[in-house]
Every structure is written in structure tokens, then in C-alpha cells.
Amino acid sequence: MTARLRISWIIALVVMVFMLGGAVLAQDEAPAGVFYGGWPYSLPPDSHLNSFSAGGPQTNTGVYHDLIEMPSAIYLWSEARYQPLLAESFGFEGESAYVITLRSDAMWNDGTPVTSDDLIATYAIGRILGWSDYTYIDYLERVDDHTVRFVLKNPSIVAERLMLKTRVRAAATYADFAERATALYDSGATNESAEWQALLQEIRDFRPETLLASGPYHYTLEDMGDSYITLTWQPNSHLSSVVQFGEIRLWNGETEAVTPLFLNGDIAYGTYGFPPATEASFVDAGIRIIRGPQYTGPAIYFNHSLAPWNIKEVRQAMAYVIDRAEAAFLGKGLSARPVTFMAGFSDNLVPVWLSEDQTAQLNPYEVNLERAAELLQSVGFTQVDGVWQDASGAPVAAELTFPAEFADWVGGVQSAVDQLNAFGFQITARAVPAAEQEQATLRGEFQLTVRNWGIGSPFPNATFNQPLFRYNYNAGVEGEPGMNFPMQFDWNGEAVDLQALIAASGAGLDTATQGEAVFAVSQVFNDMLPILPLYETYTNNPLNESLVAGAPAEDDPIWTNGGGDNFTIILLATGVLSPAG
């Protein structure tokens, strides 16, 4: 049995047990053992239990929040399907609606059932908060106690992800706000009205005394210590008898603060990213490293307003010069892999979205210095005393900025710059604080810069949007031209509207149609190289197997889960992970 099959069987078995059983037998005693994790959280009074307001559980428990206020489902990337959590079933009803039916045995920790009212209340408040879900949703209909119909105005697979991933909050806590929100919206008020803003303010300022949990764990403010927060097992969730830990302890702190705890054996698992040297010391200490794709990594962004970066041949020449495998290794050691297909989205998703024939049509830009020289010469560039110059005699020189704090990018970026300079470019790399560098990128105040080429989404459309929408002028924000790459141009003798193609790659519900658009965008991206992806980073999450048992083998597809669908959360929720010994 392959590892992929094994994990699928385990998950399927868990689901079957509950579906056939009808109702879960409540387990009164907490399982033994503590899961030791880490997450940076704030202390009260910054921290509170209102998950609709900044400083609430979503901020302070991060990915573990899915085990407290559960979403309807979580995505299994390798199987391209959603794994139900609170939901029993879900799906599109034609193109006009999406229907979610919640599990009849789902319960809050106070013993009351999770119902349609909870989902409707969640979305009623979400509308006041301005959730982007309402780009796709028109309104919600209560079908029965456990079924809700989302009437859509803009059907999309992106909408499905947003709806299923939304954590359902308890109407018992927020019903008053939800009722007032619904009445306000029904009265025709807009978000600019004083009433809307006043309600919004009330929602933000609300401080519930308890947090009702549909997941197997919950916590109170008393559980938030200076050094760690304790998520306590509760008996009423439909997953309470599945999970193997009686407590989840999350140590407080960012990467530098938790590193000694990992080395000391105080933490079993963390979502942090570590520099290669720290990773090596973990390995020396016998800690396993989990390497899952992050579906993103560093890319060189060109300012297309400036020569010579607006010349396609120059960008292609750079792609031929840089040994991306070397950059990847120097960037994050074994937790990075060079981008090979140059499709504009993760190599890990290419087989899912493109056929082998289509993939073969993409130029992999393997290192070829002669080809790079030919390309530069074809646009009038010459090499004088080892330095490449344009037709006017100006050297190919620029400053390349990169985020100083991204330890897993620094080495890779420096390697790429060294290789370009060895070829005859004059690039000066400069580290800039990440927040400042991002703002400079949005304002178009750079020559060359390094940002992420992708994003944690299973849909290529979202990744295309990262460089070409968010960091490009067409996001439509005044004063933010970004890299200023033109989205309408002639390509291979045809007029191309790249913006329309990208929109088509994520529109509608037919993945085959979307796939055609994905291929079209990939071809254009592969040739035009609006950005130059270097490598894809992988997680280097430490997993201390002297504290946790049951982690699947390295080749198990569960580790390919990315984005907000954390693999450890799935493994905890399905009871795959258990205390060691």
C-alpha cells in the first residue's frame, strides 16, 4: 500500500465511522498526552475571545484555530478535494447557488448543536465586516436546521474555497449582532452609513466571556499564560473521540524565541521557517524536518518602466544565466527546489493543470550562457571589458532590493546576483526591511526587486494574480504602479489581453475551461517572463518524534498540503498524530 493510499484510507475510515454511526458517542475522558506546538500570540488585554475582532482567536491561535472554531471543510491538495470537518455535504447547485449541509452530530462545547443559524449568523456579521466572500455571494437562505443555500451572484471555485474555509462561529454568542446586521442590511443601509459604522464598532469592541468551540479543543483567557497557551480537550465535538491529545500547548514566540525550545525538546512541531544552519542543528539533535511545498518562493521583479528591464530578451537572457538549482540550495538548502517549468505557478501544480504535451511546450530555461549572449546581442547589446552594455553604451547595471528578514531568500538572491555579475551585469544587492520593500514595490520605486512569485492556493489563477495584479498597476490603486508590466500587447502576431486570460483561468466552475486559460497564461508568462522565478521554498518545520508519533512517511501526499490547509491540523483532527511512547 502506498503512503498516499494509506493516509487516504485513514481519513476515509474516520469519516465513515461517524457517517455510519449517525451520532458520535461522547467521550467523557480526555485522551492522555500533550501536543507541544508554538505560535506567537498576544497576552490579554490585547488578546480576547471575539473572533470577529483583531486580537481574537484567529490571531492568537493561527492555524490551530481550525481545531477550535472549525470551518466546514479543509482542502486536501494532493487529491484536489475538500475533506469535510463541520459539513456533511456541500456542492454547487447549478451555477446559481452553493449548498452546505452541516453535520447533524456537530456540537458546541456547551452541548448545543451546530446549526444553520450559526452559519447564517457568521455570514451576517461577515457582511458588516466587509468580507470578500460577498464578491461572489448575493445572500444566504436557511433551508433547514443544518442546510444553508448561498445564492451566488458570481459563481467561482474561489468562492467555494472561501465559503468552506470560513470558520463557523456560535450564534449563541453573536446572535444579537447578527440580527441587527441583517436588519440593517435589509433596511438598505450601506457601509458608509453611520449606523453601519456604529454596529461595526460595537462588533469590534465586543468581548465575549467564553469562546464556544465546535472543534475538539477550546480555551479561556485564563489559559493564556505568558509563556504558553493551553488548548484543552472538550468532550462534545464530533472529533473529540478521534483526536489523540488531551491538550495542545502552544509556546509563545516568533522564530528566534522558540528556536531554543525546539533544541531543548520542549516543542514537537511548529510552522516556523528556519535558516539552514538552525535546521542543521535540529537534524543533529535528532529532530525530523518536514518539507512540504509552499507553492511560492522568491522571484526577481523587473520595473518595466525602465530600460533595459522592459526588453523581453534581456529578461530571457537572465533566465538562461542563473543556475536556479544553485540559488535554491544556497537559499534554503534541502528545503528549496529550483523552478523548472517556468509556467508562472508552482511546479507541483503543473501536472494537475497542464498535460504533458502542454508542459513540453514550455521553455525550461536551462543554464545556457551562449544563448544568453545571443539574446543580448540580438537587441544590440555588446560586451566591453567583460561588462554588458546596451546600444547607447550604458552598462547593464541596477540595484536589486530584497526583504532583509527573509532568511531563506538571502542566500539564493545573492547567488543569483553573483551569477549575473559574473556574466557581465553590474547588479548591487541591497537588503531592505520587508515592510518598506513591499511598499516600495507597490509604488514602483525600484529597478529590480525580489518578491514572492506565488501564493498558497491550489488554483493557478491566484498565483498569477500575485505578481500581475497585486504588484502591477492593474490592481487599480492610485500611486501604486508596481512593476508596471503592460497587460495588453501583441504576442506571436496576435493581440493578447493577459488580464482577461488570467480572469478566465479562475472564472466559472468548469475546471477544463479554466485549464485552457491556465495554459494560455503559462505560455505567455513563459515567453514574456514578466518576473523571473528563482526557486520554490519548502517548509522546514521541525517535528520531534520523541514527543509525537504517527507522522506519515516523507513521501506521503499529505505533506503537499499548502496554504491555509495545514497538514498538521489535518493529522491532529483525524487522530493520525498521537503522543509518543
Please name the residue that has the C-alpha cell 522565478: 533
Compute the distance between CA of residue 335 and CA of residue 63 in angstroms, rounded to an integer. Answer: 21
If binding is defined by CB under 8 A, does position 434 make contact with another protein?
yes
Q: Is 430 helix (H, G, I), strand (E, B) or coil?
A: strand
The upper half-sphere exposure of residue 575, i.e. CA atoms within 13 Å in the direction of its Cβ, equals 18
Strand pairing of 87-93 and 97-102?
Answer: antiparallel
Compute the distance between CA of residue 511 and CA of residue 509 in angstroms, rounded to an integer. Answer: 6
The residue within the footprint of another protein, chosen from 101, 244, 316, 457 (CB under 8 A), is 457
If binding is defined by CB under 8 A, does position 286 make contact with another protein?
no
By CB under 8 A, what part of segment 58-117 binds another protein?
A: 58, 62-63
If binding is defined by CB under 8 A, does position 433 make contact with another protein?
yes
Strand pairing of 228-233 and 247-251?
Answer: antiparallel
User: What track of x and - describes contact with another protein for positions 123 through 152 (by CB under 8 A)?
Assistant: -----xxxxxx-------------------
Cβ burial 512-550 (10 Å sphere, 16+ → b, else e): eebbebbbbbbbbbbebbbbbbbbbbbbbbbbbeebbee
The residue within the footprint of another protein, chosen from 96, 201, 513, 546 (CB under 8 A), is 201
Applying CB under 8 A, the span of 113-121, 196-204, 409-417, 567-575 interacting with another protein comes to 196-204
Applying CB under 8 A, the span of 36-44, 68-76, 359-367, 526-534 interacting with another protein comes to 36-44
Compute the distance between CA of residue 232 and CA of residue 251 in angstroms, rounded to an integer. Answer: 14
If binding is defined by CB under 8 A, does position 479 make contact with another protein?
no
By CB under 8 A, what part of segment 525-554 binds another protein?
A: none
The answer to whether 530 and 302 have CB atoms below 8 angstroms apart is: yes
Closer residue to another protein, CB minimum distance, 165 or 324: 165
Applying CB under 8 A, the span of 15-23, 77-85, 154-162, 381-389 interacting with another protein comes to 154-162
User: What track of x and - describes contact with another protein for positions 509 through 528 (by CB under 8 A)?
Assistant: --------------------
The residue within the footprint of another protein, chosen from 49, 100, 119, 158 (CB under 8 A), is 158
Closer residue to another protein, CB minimum distance, 260 or 286: 260
User: What track of x and - describes contact with another protein for positions 233 through 252 (by CB under 8 A)?
Assistant: ------------------xx
Number of residues that bind another protein (CB under 8 A): 68
How many CB atoms neighbour CB 579 within 10 A?
Answer: 17
427 beta partners: 398
Question: Smallest distance from the beta carbon of 45 to another protein, in angstroms?
Answer: 5
Name residues whose C-beta falls within 8 Å of residue 256's C-beta, 6 or more positions apart in sequence. Answer: none
Name residues whose C-beta falls within 8 Å of residue 64's C-beta, 6 or more positions apart in sequence. Answer: 37, 39, 217, 231, 248, 250, 569
Residue 378 cell numbers, joined: 540580438
Applying CB under 8 A, the span of 5-13, 105-113, 179-187, 226-234 interacting with another protein comes to 226-234
Residues within the interface to another protein (CB under 8 A): 42-48, 50, 52-55, 58, 62-63, 128-133, 158, 161-162, 165, 200-201, 203-207, 225-228, 251-254, 256-257, 260-261, 263-264, 266, 271, 294-296, 433-436, 438-440, 455-457, 462, 465-466, 470, 562-564
